[in-house]
Each structure stands twice: as structure tokens, then as C-alpha cells.
Chain A
């Protein structure tokens, strides 16, 4: 089993739709979690951290399920500009090395 797994997609959704991605991780000692966004031919950029209590930033909601070892990202009211690849990142306690998922591709169409 890979350390961090994501469905590569693509998720093809119309504008205004709600879409959700999951990311599973294998190391139960993982302590820090992030969602990154990567546009084509650009660097990954931090979208949001994922806290144990869950967190929301505008149309984006991230949640952590430690029991089932996954994190999720929910995007409401999708915009064309949300089209990108979304990477999950997991960091285990005491480690300096983050583990990146391979990303989930989202395409929002008119």
C-alpha cells in the first residue's frame, strides 16, 4: 500500500457543482496534513492545512478522519478557476520529510 493515495481523476464537473476528494494515508503516526493546489506547469501552492476539528475557508472545507486514516477536501460552488490538480500532503510526527500524494485532477467546465 502506498503511503499516501489519491484518486487521480480527472473529476469533470460543471460550474456550481460540489465536489469532494479523499486522500488516504497509511502511517497512523501522521500528525500534520495539508491540501495543495497545483496549476498546470506551476509550483504547488498551499491551499489549506487540515486540523483535527476540520476547517473551512470560504468554499473549501477540509476534514480529517483519523480512525479511517483519510483526509478530505470539499469544494462548493465550483468555479472555472478551481480547475487544477489537488495534492494532499502528510507529515509524520518527528519527521522532516512530507509525503505528497500524486494529486487529483479537477476540471470545472461551463
Chain B
């Protein structure tokens, strides 16, 4: 009964380094999302995937790319990390919002 699994839980990067955040869900949900959460800013949508094979930009996509690898997995890539990308990243999944959204436990990323 894992739900949504995110890896890694913590990461420190140097400016300019790249990394991929992994997300997998086992609930057979069609829709998956990547959010970042900063103090006082609430949850901001980076990218989403309404269904396998589709991805779309959210509110703050600059500096990120995503891949919907299959129905279970949705990864987020930072090609050249910047200090402004220091944040907590959450992956979420849903079945068209019918029963709400299930979140992973988050990745705390610091870019120095």
C-alpha cells in the first residue's frame, strides 16, 4: 500500500549540476503532478501529466523538464540547478480528481 513514492528524500546540489527526481504511484492513476512548495507561496504546479503520453506546463515550468515514463512513473529533471530552485518538491497523482490527490512524502532540495 505504498501510494506515491518519491526519491530521493533529501538532496544538496551545487549550482549548475543536474538531477532527476523520481516519482512512482501504484494506484493506477492516470494523472500525475509535480509541485514545489516554498514558505509563504503555497503549492505551485510545475508540470502535470493528464494521462500516459502527455505532459503540460504548469504555473512555474522554467528550469524544469518532465518525463512520463509509463503510467506509474513521472520524473522531474533539473538540467542546471539554480539557488532559486531550492524548495520542497511534491509529486501527486489522481484519477481525474474524483477522490482527491495523493502526495508523495516530498524531496527537500537545496542548491548552493
Which of A's residues lie within 8 Å of B, judged by CB? 32, 34, 36, 41-46, 49, 87, 89, 91, 96-98, 100-103
Contacts and interface: CB of A to CB of B under 8 A. Distances in A.
25 contacts: A32-B98, A41-B88, A42-B105, A42-B106, A43-B90, A43-B103, A44-B90, A46-B100, A46-B101, A46-B102, A49-B99, A87-B42, A87-B43, A91-B97, A96-B31, A96-B50, A96-B96, A97-B45, A98-B94, A98-B101, A100-B42, A102-B40, A102-B41, A102-B42, A103-B42
Interface residues of B, number: 23
A97 B35 CA distance: 11
Interface of B: 31, 40-43, 45, 48, 50, 58, 88, 90, 94, 96-106
If over half of B's interface residues share one DSSP class (helix, strand or loop), that class is named, otherwise mixed; here it is loop
A100 B42 CA distance: 8
Contact of B43 (A32, A44, A49): A44
A43 B48 contact: no
Contacts of B100: 34, 36, 46, 49, 89
Contacts of A41: 88
Contacts of B48: 96-97
Contacts of B105: 42-43
Given A43-B103, A45-B103, A46-B101, A100 B90 contact: no
